[in-house]
């Protein structure tokens, strides 16, 4: 699942984690460019939105255990950075700009009343209602089936798409491109299709229609500095092996939970601060969220001091120079965040209510619960290529040209 500068990850894993990474081949999949938008906001919005999203993940997990409502109650609006995919819908190729979200799975349009959906000769109205709660926002409307094109090569002829009759909490976008697991659509359709508890996602249908050879989505982000000529991101549907967007090898680990959940441990300065636990990888969350005990150990080691204006922890230049790697161990492979990857981009301090030149740690504490002990957010994903593999129920990571970047 989190922003508008904010403003979010795979075949023998049925019985465990792949022990050794897989080397790339020469058959990359089909790519979709995604544009990055930066928004001015405040640090507290950034931190609190992420916490709201984490709470929504917890609420959905609890509802499944108690057999209550299963709607995905997940906020998707990042407070600082937003990645937008341009798609077309219908025989008339109406263009919409959708937020890319791995924390939800319904695709819908209609958030911007200036770009209303007009049914065409390819549109099929179902008379079923779609309703999705996102924590900080929601929408409801009618379900259509229509042609959806993510690019010239990625055209789905019969995609379920929600058309909002009412929405709240969404700005600077026309809707959501949901690329989370299909289980997250459970309970979102009301009407004649209600007995069918889930609806195929865009990646489901690309695979079913034979457009891609595996139901896989790769995501390439780039650290954000606000520069006008900064590279944009990219989605890759299908075979990601051999993509130029990563270096070395991809390490895969088994998918956990209805979300893109994984098992990992976290170490700082050679000391394990979070034992192996289950959490979520989410393009819709900006910061990294760690269990309170792990976060406190990290802060005590770094010397960070809470900053009221941003809601983050500030460190001095001397403390920054002394930072050790913050290491995420996934599938037997270490994925370190360098000192530069641990701080908020200094050129964007004003966007979060911070002061010019100051250094803020891009990590936050969260209350750990079963299956949600952490969230690896955008600040992790901008340093590592991520692979979300529905075919093999796994999540993968690999280094990129930006893993050790010093742009922050």
Q: What is the pLDDT of residues 84-124, one digit of tens each?
A: 889 999 999 999 999 888 988 999 999 887 788 999 999 99
pLDDT of residue 36: 62
What confidence score (pLDDT) does residue 117 get? 93
Which residues, 6 or more positions from 322, have their beta carbon under 8 angstroms from its beta carbon? none
Q: Which ranges in the chain are annotated with CATH 2.40.70.10? A: 30-217, 246-399
**pLDDT above 50 for 68:** no
pLDDT recorded at residue 138: 81
Higher-pLDDT residue of 48 and 257 is: 257
Residue 392, Cα to own-chain centre: how many angstroms? 19
**Residue for token pair 């465990």:** 16
Give the pLDDT confidence score for residue 192 in this predicted structure. 66
List 138's β-bridge partners, or say none.
Answer: 133, 168
In 3-state terms, what secondary structure has residue 220? strand
CA pair distance 2, 289, nearest whole angstrom? 12
Query: Is residue 22's pLDDT more than 70?
Result: no
Mean pLDDT of the chain: 84
Provide CATH code, domain 246-399: 2.40.70.10
* Alpha-carbon dihedral angle through residues 54, 60, 64, 68, given to the nearest 10 degrees: 140
Q: Give the CB-side neighbour count of residue 319, counting CA atoms within 13 A.
A: 18
What DSSP element (H or E) covers 146? strand 138-149
Residue the block writes with tokens 């230049």: 317
Q: 299-345 pLDDT, tens per residue?
A: 999 999 999 999 999 999 999 999 999 999 999 999 999 999 999 99
- Beta pairing class for 175-178 and 326-330: unpaired
Q: Which residues are catalytic?
A: 101, 282
CB-based contacts of 398, cutoff 8 Å, min separation 6: 21, 246, 247, 248, 249, 250, 251, 384, 385, 387
Task: Answer whether 79's CB lies under 8 Å from 287's CB.
Answer: no
- Cα separation, 37 vs 23, in Å, equals 33
Position 305 scores a pLDDT of: 98
- pLDDT of 60 higher than 70: no
pLDDT at position 260 is 95
- Which residues, 6 or more positions from 401, have their beta carbon under 8 angstroms from its beta carbon? 247
Of the pLDDT bands very low, low, confident and very high (cuts 50, 70, 90), residue 248 is very high
Which band of pLDDT confidence, cut at 50, 70 and 90, is reported for residue 14? Answer: very low
For residue 375, name the pLDDT band (cuts at 50, 70, 90).
very high
Q: 230: closest CA among 338, 102, 347, 399? A: 347
30-217 fold? Cathepsin D, subunit A; domain 1 (2.40.70)
Distance of alpha carbon 220 from alpha carbon 211, whole angstroms = 21
Structure tokens at 98: 């959708």
Distance CA 73, CA 199 (A): 17
DSSP string, 284-324: T--SEEEEHHHHHHHHHHHT-EE-TTTSSEEE-HHHHHTPP
Whole-number pLDDT of residue 197: 76
């Amino acid at each position: 699942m989190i922003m508008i500068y904010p403003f979010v990850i795979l075949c023998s894993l049925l019985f465990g984690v792949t022990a050794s990474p897989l080397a790339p081949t020469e058959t990359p999949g089909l790519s979709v460019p995604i544009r990055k938008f930066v928004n001015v906001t405040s640090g507290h919005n950034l931190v609190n939105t992420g916490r709201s999203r984490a709470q929504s993940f917890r609420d959905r997990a609890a509802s499944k255990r108690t057999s209550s409502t299963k709607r995905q109650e997940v906020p998707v609006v990042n407070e600082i950075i937003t990645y937008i995919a341009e798609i077309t819908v219908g025989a008339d190729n109406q263009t919409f700009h959708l937020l890319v979200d791995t924390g939800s799975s319904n695709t819908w349009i209609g958030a911007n009343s200036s770009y209303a959906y007009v049914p065409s000769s390819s549109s099929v109205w179902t008379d079923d209602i779609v309703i999705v709660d996102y924590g900080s926002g929601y929408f409801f409307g009618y379900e259509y089936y229509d042609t959806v094109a993510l690019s010239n090569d990625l055209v789905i002829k019969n995609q379920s798409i929600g058309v909002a009759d009412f929405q709240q909490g969404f700005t600077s976008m026309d809707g959501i491109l949901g690329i989370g697991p299909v289980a997250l659509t459970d309970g979102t359709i009301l009407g004649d299709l209600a007995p069918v508890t889930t609806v195929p996602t865009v990646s489901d249908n690309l695979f079913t229609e034979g457009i891609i050879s595996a139901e896989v989505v790769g995501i390439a982000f780039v650290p954000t500095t606000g520069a006008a000529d900064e590279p944009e991101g990219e989605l890759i549907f299908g075979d990601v092996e051999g993509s130029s967007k990563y270096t070395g090898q991809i390490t895969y680990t088994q998918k956990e939970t209805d979300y893109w959940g994984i098992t990992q441990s976290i170490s700082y300065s050679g000391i394990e601060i979070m034992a192996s636990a289950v959490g979520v990888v989410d393009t819709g969350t900006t910061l990294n969220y760690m269990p309170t005990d792990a976060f406190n150990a990290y802060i005590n080691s770094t010397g960070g001091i809470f900053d009221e204006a941003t809601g983050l922890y500030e460190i001095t230049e001397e403390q920054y120079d002394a930072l050790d790697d913050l290491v995420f161990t996934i599938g037997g492979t270490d994925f370190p965040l360098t000192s530069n990857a641990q701080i908020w981009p200094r050129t964007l301090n004003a966007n979060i209510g911070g002061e010019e030149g100051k250094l803020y740690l891009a990590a936050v504490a969260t209350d750990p619960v079963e299956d949600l002990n952490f969230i690896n957010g955008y600040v992790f994903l901008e340093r590592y290529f991520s692979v979300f593999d529905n075919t093999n129920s796994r999540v993968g990571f690999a280094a990129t040209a930006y893993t050790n970047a010093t742009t922050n």
